[in-house]
Amino acid sequence: MRNFILGIIIVLLVIVLGGLAVVNFGWFPTRADATPPSWETRIASSALDASMERHAPRIANPVPPTDENLIEGMKIYTMNCAVCHGTLDEKPSPLATSFYPPPPQLILMPPDDPEWHVYYAIRTGVRYSGMPAWSKALSDDDIWKVTAFLTRLEKLPPNVQDYWKKAFGVGPLPAGADHDSMPMKSDKTEPSKKP
């Protein structure tokens, strides 16, 4: 029994010392210009989802989704988020593959999470990723407006779609578009060219 416990202690010690060696001898990779392996993405995504499920309060959006508020949300998105998450002319962000983990291209692949989830993600950010906590830069109202916009990308009212078309040349992608074949899915593709 004594030997067994000693064995466990030695194994634990090797793991801890091994971990410290990896970190202190510079073996831990820190480059952001790599594509995360799929197993890592799977584990990290479920950890992120589970944490949001646990921590995010289930609150309804207090800002009504009027045309005016949705257009405001579109402007807030363009000014603060498009640089990482993709512009409204439906091109992937030039930084789409410059982060580790990469920022989801929200215009090309609209989020299907509920508003409370998206609001929480925007307000509190995502630790150890490039996603800032916007509570320190945007008002709560503005965070709700951009949330309203992002969660309705595929069902925006006609006036808001018209505004989008006038301002950016192209309108929102039709609901049910084949988002999975969008160019930003691959890290090598050039930004899509308009026909």
* Residues found near ligand HEC in the complex (CB under 6 A): 48, 52, 80-81, 83-85, 99, 101, 103-104, 111, 118, 121-122, 126, 129-132, 134, 146
6/60 with CB nearer ligand HEC = 60
Cα–Cα distance list, 176 to 108, 110, 111, 153, 180 (Å)? 11, 10, 13, 11, 10
Per the CB < 8 A criterion, the answer to whether 68 and 148 are in contact is no
Query: In angstroms, what is the minimal distance from the CB of 90 to ligand HEC?
Result: 17
Closest separation in Å from C-beta 92 to ligand HEC? 13
Is residue 48 a contact partner of residue 113, using CB atoms and an 8 Å limit? no
Q: Tell the smallest beta-carbon distance from residue 57 to ligand HEC (Å).
A: 15
Chain mean position to CA 172: 19
Q: Supply the minimum distance, in Å, between the C-beta of residue 97 and ligand HEC.
A: 11
Instruction: Pick between residue 63 and residue 146 the one whose CB is nearest to ligand HEC.
Output: 146
Q: Which residues of 110-119 are buried (b: 16+ CB within 10 A; e: fewer)?
A: bbebebbbbb
Give the residue with the Cβ less far from ligand HEC, 84 or 88: 84
